[in-house]
Structure 1
Amino acid sequence: MPAPSRPWAVVVPVKGGSSAKSRLADPARPALATAFALDTIMAALATVGVERVVVVTSDPVVATLVRALDPGDRVVDLVPDPGVGLDAAARAGVDRARAEHFHRVAVLLGDHPSLTSTELEIALAAAATHRGAFVPDAAGTGTAMVALAAADADPTTNFGGGSAARHAAQGLARLDLDLPGLRLDVDEVTDLEAALAVGVGQHTARALGGYPDDRAGDDPLHR
């Protein structure tokens, strides 16, 4: 698939810390939450057409690990989390990307351990045909990603429970794509089980004690 004519910036809000993923009943919850985020960010970094990944976080551990993914500081941009909720964090990332003159900006939550760069490339290519679009989560009621292809598209993100209906009402095009890694966001143990069935990235596999990844395909990030 050819690269889009205009590059994308992908914003990834990451809460981090001991309160991250509070509904995930697992003793390794904080480490797993960080691993999910790192695998999400790695997939974005490897995606054709993505030239900037804006990570919004105030967690020092996450920030240090993210910097290690891009030691040359060429692609990853770290932005402090305003600390007043997910939508504010997403908006801070969008504002930074637009300040850096990216017309196309996507917001991808940092809890997609099964995401591949191929899936994200497909989703962004589909979103590029609309002023603004969103990909619903696997349940169809939440939102996995919001993509704003027009520079003046409304940056209001409206994440949270029932967000798919809000994004549709906002005028964003709904993209019901067959991309399980993108649409699987992990909040609970059952979500994690579903992600494991699809295959997870290297950070999540390591956090789970080296759970074998049976994913087929050519994405080196998920071997």
Structure 2
Amino acid sequence: MTGWSIVTPVKPLGQAKSRLRATLPAAVAYFSGPDPLGALEAPDETGDWHAEVALAMALDTVAAVLAADRVDRVVVVTDDPVAAAALGALGAVCVPDTPGSGLNAALRHGASVAALLSRTDRRGARGTATLGADLPALRTAELDVALRTVERLGVRSFVPDAAGTGTTLLAAPGRTPLNPAYGPGSALVHASDGAVDLASGGPEIATRRVGPSLRQDVDTAADLAAARALGLGPRTAALLASTPSVFPAGCAAC
């Protein structure tokens, strides 16, 4: 039986994760060891280490999503050629952000691409979901549980981030419109628009709780430390292991 299409946006790496850049120091040592996913060369001396972090997180996130039993396809919307090459090598379908009108327009574009591909090969027709590229601790099993819950409910649903204000997953089963409304306070906006909060624990969701790795996105150094406590994916873990200055001894966020 067919599975889900997942749409993941990736900003140009040099612009990605501005809040993380503000709270995470520039590493003095660049990753130069074995590449766990075999996607990229190490950056040169003029490279952007924060961009490497953003790419590592995206690679770990997309790799986990592609491994999910209930996922047929990942559509990545990005204008970054390095990210497109690396994520495409993992098996994602990468398309440019042709609307160029912000995050929600990019997600709608990705969903349209996913729908067009599904009409061609019938893969990904169970539903369409959006997932951020900043979930480096994501566990495949936790994503599968959430998607199964949406299938059972049969209605548009979402997973709030660890802070409870943002949205990490927005899922629309079948041909239900996705209607993404990302931005400040998106969890409340999605709930107000009728989407079911899968982390609410309400009586209509008699299932296991939403796994923490599905809620732990990374916007700040503290978020990255929380994700590390859950267990990072191989590329992000290797990158941070090679740069101990990121989490110095006594770091409050560690």
Q: Displacement of 1:103 after TM fit?
A: 4.4
Seen in structure 2, the aligned counterparts of structure 1 residues 184 and 110 have a Cα distance that, compared at 3 Å, is same
Measured in 2, the distance between the counterparts of 1:47 and 1:210 equals 29
Stretch of structure 1 that moved more, 166-175 or 202-211: 202-211
Q: Does 1:9 align with 2:5?
A: yes
Corresponding residue pairs, total = 202
TM-score (norm 1): 0.86
Q: Of the candidates 157, 161, 164, which is equivalent to residue 184 of structure 2?
A: 161
Q: Displacement of 1:211 after TM fit?
A: 8.0
Stretch of structure 1 that moved more, 56-65 or 26-35: 26-35
Q: For residues 148-187 of structure 1, what are the structure 2 equivalents within 5 Å? A: 148-151=172-175, 153-176=176-199, 177-187=209-219
Measured in 1, the distance between the counterparts of 2:172 and 2:88 equals 26
- Listed as ranges, the gaps of 5+ residues in structure 1 are 71-75, 213-223
TM-score (norm 2): 0.76
Q: Of the candidates 91, 112, 123, which is equivalent to residue 135 of structure 2?
A: 112
Please say if residues 129 and 178 of structure 2, whose CA atoms lie closer than 8 Å, have aligned partners that are also in contact. Answer: no
Q: Does 1:77 align with 2:93?
A: yes
Larger relative CO (CA 8 A, sep 6+): 1 or 2? 2
Hey, what does 2:171 align to over in structure 1? Answer: 147
- Give deviations 1:96-127, integer Å, cap 9, x for gaps: 11112324011001100010111111111111
Hey, what does 1:32 align to over in structure 2? Answer: 53
Hey, what does 2:17 align to over in structure 1? Answer: 21
Structure number with bigger Rg = 2
Hey, what does 1:50 align to over in structure 2? Answer: 71
Q: Does 1:125 align with 2:186?
A: no
Measured in 2, the distance between the counterparts of 1:206 and 1:16 equals 22
Hey, what does 1:97 align to over in structure 2? Answer: 114
Q: Sequence identity of aligned pairs in percent?
A: 44
Q: Secondary structure at the match of 1:128?
A: helix
Hey, what does 1:138 align to over in structure 2? Answer: 162
Q: Secondary structure at the match of 2:168?
A: strand
**Which letter maps to 2:10?**
V
Measured in 2, the distance between the counterparts of 1:68 and 1:118 equals 23
Hey, what does 1:221 align to over in structure 2? Answer: none
For the aligned residue pairs, the C-alpha RMSD in angstroms reads 1.6
- Give deviations 1:111-150, integer Å, cap 9, x for gaps: 0001011111111111112221001111111111000103
Measured in 2, the distance between the counterparts of 1:65 and 1:10 equals 17
Measured in 2, the distance between the counterparts of 1:80 and 1:204 equals 25
